[in-house]
Amino acid sequence: MNKKTVQILLGTLVVLLIGGGAYFYFQNEAPEMTFIKLKRSIDNKDLETFNQCVDADQVINSVIDQYIAYMTTKNNGELDIATGLIAFMRPSIIEMVKQEVKNSIEQGKINIPTEMSISAEVLGLMTLANGDGANFKGTKDRKVSENQAEITFEVLLDGATETNDVLVKFRKTPNGWQIYDVLNLGPLVDTYVKTQQQ
């Protein structure tokens, strides 16, 4: 896992922010407002608010797990050398990504260069972090209880003919809703790979 992974996470969140957050702008208590707060925290170089909006430890762990599962599935149940290294170096990678997120927010830029080896497909997909190449298409499903929320957003990558569902999980905290997981990234990578083969 490298710094580009942070870009894809933030890119997906920004894309979801624009579509989902704007729609619910006047519903301050809605989980979707987290995206507005997230965007503001990035714009204002406010790491404390960013951390209130995103459980970075849990999201980064989930992304690593999804990447390992994705690559294992693609390799017929076997780990390749690069994926094995990622699994082995997990604690170091998590700390590095967290530090890069912190530095990028505090410096007012979300431009995290690649340092570690990762597949070209994932690197390419992570370039969407700047908002180029991904389009919010709508909210597919929304489940909100008093303390938990799950919202499935539809995202269409440029050049794709099908949308992908990105599931975002939230939990209620004293500071509002916090994103603690982003799921279904494997199918998003598959769609991206297809668009690059056209």
Are 198 and 189 within 8 A, CB to CB?
no
Instruction: Enter the tokens of residue 167.
Output: 């599931």
Q: Residue-wise pLDDT tens for the chain (198 aa)?
A: 556 656 665 666 566 656 655 554 445 578 888 877 877 788 788 999 999 999 988 988 898 888 888 888 888 877 778 777 877 888 888 888 888 888 888 887 663 333 334 333 333 333 333 345 667 777 889 999 999 999 998 888 888 888 899 899 999 999 899 999 999 988 888 888 888 887
Backbone phi and psi for residue 61, each to the nearest 5 degrees, phi listed first: -60, -45
* pLDDT given at position 112: 32
